[in-house]
Amino acid sequence: MKEIVLDTETTGLSVKEGHRIVEIGCIELENLIPTKNKFHSYLNPERKVSKKALEVHGYSDDFLSKQSKFTEIVEEFLDFIKDKRLIIHNAEFDLGHLNNELNLLGKKKINNEIVDTLTLSRDKFPGSPSSLDALCKRFRIDNSKRTQHTALIDCDLLAKVYINLIDQKEPKLNFQSIHGEKEEASNSNVTYFKKVIIPSKDEINRHKKYLNQHLKKNFFN
């Protein structure tokens, strides 16, 4: 099964305030193992970056003004994700911005199956920090290159976090409660799927092999 780990960076938090996407990063997984297929694009948001957002990702107005507009890369992006399951940390935020960009071009909202790793981590480790940095620390994943938020670096880290999250033998998720449920995001008009699929034995065996080869610590006996 192919999945896409996805992350965006933006000019600010709220689409209601006119904020736009400045970067999209995607990494493809096949049977929970990263492939060489990636999608990445900086974007000209056609507006100024907020001060807080600049502190987060460091992309200046001058740098972004020289980049492609969303309309120029939209078809390539949609072709890359197609109908694949999307792995996103805090999916409401990223989907809200992506669907806003699509709406501005008169295109349909993203209707892919979504795994929200923020929800997944909160269900698995209730009361514990669930930021990407906190999860990297929990799973002993090296995030030293993450001096600022950039989409591809965040995707790479999230891919490693994701395969650890679905593999841990600690308290099991109640898959029935989220399996196939369609939810309306509370702070936006974004509709997305928060769906977790239990991996097959073959998928588990494949990513066990990957963990043993690539991660500093594996969690198998």
Q: At 71, is the secondary structure helix, strand, or coil? A: helix
Burial string for 189-202 (b: 16+ CB within 10 Å, else e) reads ebebbbbbeebeee
Q: How far apart are CA 171 and CA 179, in angstroms?
A: 17
How many whole angstroms separate alpha carbon 54 and alpha carbon 61? 9
* Candidates 19, 57, 89, 149; catalytic one: 149
The residue type of 211 is L
Please indicate whether residue 149 is annotated as part of the active site: yes
47/151 Cα distance (integer angstroms): 20
The dihedrals phi and psi of 155, each to the nearest 5 degrees, come to: -65, -45
Phi/psi of residue 26, nearest 5 degrees:
-140, 140
Structure tokens belonging to residue 118: 């923020």
At position 44, the amino acid (one-letter code) is: N
Q: Count CB atoms within 10 A of the CB of residue 30.
A: 13
Q: Could you tell me the strand order of the sheet in which 33-42 lies? A: 33-42, 21-30, 2-10, 85-88, 114-116
Q: Which residues are catalytic?
A: 149
